[in-house]
């Protein structure tokens, strides 16, 4: 009798464990990933002309920087939850007071895959669940919304996303690959070499020098990658924090690390070139002054 009872008891325990492992023992719509998140140092958040460089708590998992989506209610956003579609919509309200937040809302712990959709500025942002809150990655926030978060991070950390664009970029009639970061056209510094510029990297100084030469090498044809032919706004790659500086005629300009290559904004060439955008043809034409 006791042996039979023991077998039944063990069977019940095993069934419970099976249900738990299948996800039925967890909160609705989530499965455990087992990725540990931890509180990290506060970063800075900006939103165009609305506000800039306010503190915001950040978190890290897999060495990736993230913020809590629900924290945006302290940064001018109204939040609405739709239980039917399981969607949290965050919409900026210019009349709402921006108070900011300095202390962390979340505790250290595990993250879970989530069926909750996060919409910010009309864009769907991938998210993870932790403690009933939604964790969103800084690189997605920066790439897809009107917000820009600068986390306290290290060289090589993903800070943004490189997106495809339908804008074609030309230097004196020669097309070079171009992409999109934060709604602005970017190019690789190396592709300027031989097209009226000399591009040289000083490994000791960690500086890319770009200087005008006025000489053009049409033979050095730049292959336009297939990524540039993808639907507009397609995520192509991560944009990484870099310690490499770019100096254009001796002046430092903004730079990014993409796949180990240094990228720059096209508009930052305006001090040495005339830049014209034709909306009808979706072309940027660069002519050296």
pTM beyond 0.85: the answer is no
Residues 235-260 as b/e (b if ≥16 CB within 10 A, e otherwise) read ebebbbbbebbbbbeeeebebbbbee
Residue 169 and residue 141 share a domain? no
Q: Please check whether residue 147 lies inside any domain of the structure.
A: yes
Closest CA to 91 of 111, 69, 63: 69
Say what the pLDDT of residue 37 is: 81
Say what the pLDDT of residue 31 is: 41
Residue 242 and residue 148 share a domain? no
Tens-binned pLDDT, residue by residue, of the chain (289 aa): 545 555 545 454 444 443 333 332 223 334 446 577 888 889 999 998 899 999 999 999 877 899 999 999 999 999 999 999 999 999 999 999 999 998 888 888 888 888 999 999 999 999 999 988 999 999 999 999 999 999 887 788 889 999 999 999 999 888 999 999 988 999 999 999 999 999 999 999 999 999 999 888 765 555 666 554 578 888 899 999 899 999 999 999 999 999 899 999 999 999 999 999 999 999 999 999 8
Residue 223 and residue 124 share a domain? no
The tokens describing 88, both together, are: 């949290």
Residue 212 belongs to domain spanning: 162-288
Final residue before a domain boundary, out of 116, 136, 153: 153
CB 180 within 8 A of CB 263: no
The tally of domains found in the chain comes to 2
Say what the pLDDT of residue 264 is: 97
Q: How far apart are CA 139 and CA 66, in angstroms?
A: 8
Final residue before a domain boundary, out of 153, 188, 209: 153
168-171 and 174-176 as β-strands: parallel, antiparallel, unpaired?
A: antiparallel
């Amino acid at each position: 009798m006791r042996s039979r009872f023991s077998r039944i008891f063990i069977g019940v325990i095993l069934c419970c464990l099976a249900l738990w492992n299948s996800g039925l023992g967890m909160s609705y719509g989530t499965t455990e990933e087992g990725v540990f998140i931890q509180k990290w140092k506060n970063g800075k958040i900006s939103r165009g002309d609305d506000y800039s460089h306010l503190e915001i708590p950040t978190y890290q998992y897999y060495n990736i920087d993230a913020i809590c989506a629900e924290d945006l209610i302290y940064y001018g956003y109204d939040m609405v939850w739709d239980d039917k579609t399981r969607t949290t919509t965050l919409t900026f309200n210019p009349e709402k007071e921006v108070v900011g937040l300095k202390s962390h809302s979340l505790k250290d712990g595990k993250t879970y895959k989530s069926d909750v959709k996060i919409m910010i500025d009309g864009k769907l942002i991938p998210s993870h669940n932790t403690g009933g809150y939604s964790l969103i990655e800084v690189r997605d926030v920066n790439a897809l919304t009107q917000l820009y978060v600068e986390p306290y991070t290290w060289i090589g950390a993903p800070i943004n996303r490189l997106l495809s664009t339908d804008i074609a970029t030309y230097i004196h009639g020669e097309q070079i690959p171009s992409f999109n970061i934060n709604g602005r056209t970017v190019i690789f510094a190396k592709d300027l070499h031989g097209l009226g510029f000399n591009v040289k990297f000083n490994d000791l100084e960690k500086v890319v020098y770009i200087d005008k030469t006025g000489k053009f090498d049409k033979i050095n044809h730049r292959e336009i990658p297939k990524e540039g032919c993808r639907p507009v706004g397609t995520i192509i790659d991560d944009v990484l924090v870099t310690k490499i500086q770019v100096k254009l005629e001796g002046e430092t300009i903004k730079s990014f690390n993409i796949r180990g290559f240094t990228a720059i904004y096209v508009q930052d060439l305006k001090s040495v070139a005339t830049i014209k955008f034709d909306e009808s043809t979706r072309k940027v034409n660069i002519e050296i002054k």
